[in-house]
Structure 1
Amino acid sequence: MVSDQTRLLFVGINPGLRAVAVQAHFGGGSNRFYPALFRAGIVDRRIDASAGFRREDLNHLLDRGVGITSIVAGASARADELTPEQLLAGAKALSARVELIAPAIVAVLGISAYRTAFARPRAAWGRQPDSLGGAPVWVLPNPSGLNRHASLADLADAYREVAVAAGIEPLADPA
């Protein structure tokens, strides 16, 4: 889900089974991606993609300059089911995709997957020293309901910071 106006490309690890079933990135019921976008002021409403995207929500994301993709295209119940080979191959394909999309910033959601996919075992959170397809890369917390290391507030803060860096003006604080 991207447009020629994509400023910030969020990159998940791979789609979950539910996301594929409803044809919507982060479409699983326990995923905190859309609540974090709302709380960060990136979008002006709570998007519920658990039954698929509503046209107006999809258009709002695109109008705000937000694109969404994943490292690995294939679905799994859990990201930790992916092999290192799948992540490495996905990273190569992602690099080519990013060159075509040309976002201002790429935000990879999940540090363990990033470390494996991009052969950066010591990578830390935040902006990375390397670019991807010509775009700066940030590594941010994964919003999966299985990843409780970061709170919703932590996710929102991180997502707001990268959105501002990508030139997306935050909307009024919904809190």
Structure 2
Amino acid sequence: MLTDIISKNLEVIFVGINPGLKSAEDGHHFSGRSNRFWKVLHLSGFTDYQIEPENDTEILNFDCGLTTAVARATSRADELSKEDFDESLEFFKIKMNKFQPKYIAFLGKVAYKTFSGKKQIEWGLQSEAFLGSKVWVLPNTSGLNRGFSLEDLVIRYSELYNVINKK
């Protein structure tokens, strides 16, 4: 089981699609060896050091949080059905209303596409808020996502970091 790492009024809550099997088994976000999330988060400026997955709660020290769009763990996100997302949407809305982050950063387009009902999603800042939070869509850092190099990921995540920190 993977527990949310969130508190009220964070700058950003990063929203993974769903837990990988290793993360669900370990109980720590992005614990798969090939996942680049923690490295990208550090290199893009969000954290002063690279957090180890077993210390994932330290992300709160940087005014960031973690959750997933769908709670069900799978080995690959493409194993999720539309029903998985549909069943998760209401719980996700309740969670975002409760915690009210300034930004919700979806990691990958699939969850935001499904939650928003939009057919086309661009990377970056979205034109509409989601329950009062600004929405940003970032590439997924999964090792299965080979469409983005480490450098590409850092550039995309740095864009959000710079907007949040008004650089």
Shared fold, TM over 0.5: yes
Task: State the aligned residue count.
Answer: 163
Contact 1:11–1:71 (CA under 8 A) maintained in structure 2: yes
Q: Which 10-residue stretch deviates more, 115-124 or 6-15?
A: 115-124
**Matched-pair contact (CA < 8 Å) for 2:17–2:110:** no
Q: In structure 1, what is the equivalent of residue 23 of structure 2?
A: 19
Match of 2:50 in 1: 46
> Of residues 127, 132, 135 in structure 1, which corresponds to 2:133?
135
List gaps (5 residues or longer) in structure 2: none
4+ long deviations beyond 4 Å? none
Secondary structure in structure 1 of the residue aligned to 2:128:
strand
Q: Aligned ranges for residues 7-156 of structure 1 at < 5 Å?
A: 7-49=11-53, 53-54=54-55, 58-59=57-58, 61-156=59-154
Shift of 1:160: 1.9
Report the AA paired with residue 65 of structure 1: D
Gaps of 5+ in 1: 170-175
Q: Which amino acid aligns with 1:26?
A: F
1:28 Cα deviation from its structure 2 partner: 1.1
- Using the aligned pairs only, state the percent identity: 37
Letter in 1 for 2:31: G
Contact 1:84 1:117 in 2 (8 A): no
The match for 1:160 is 158
Q: Give yes or no for contact 1:11–1:68 (8 Å, CA) kept in 2.
A: yes
Aligned-residue offset at 1:168 = 8.2
What secondary structure is seen at the aligned counterpart in 2 of 1:10? strand
Q: C-alpha offsets along residues 144-167 of structure 1, whole Å, 9 cap, x if unaligned? A: 000011111111121122123234
TM-score, scaled to structure 1: 0.86
TM-score, normalised with respect to structure 2: 0.89
Q: Any conservation in 2 of the 1:33–1:143 contact (CA below 8 Å)?
A: yes
Aligned mates of 1:115, 1:42 — CA distance in 2: 25
* Paired residue type of 2:71: A
Relative distance call for 1:82 and 1:163 in structure 2 (3 A) is same
3-state SS of paired residue (1:138): strand
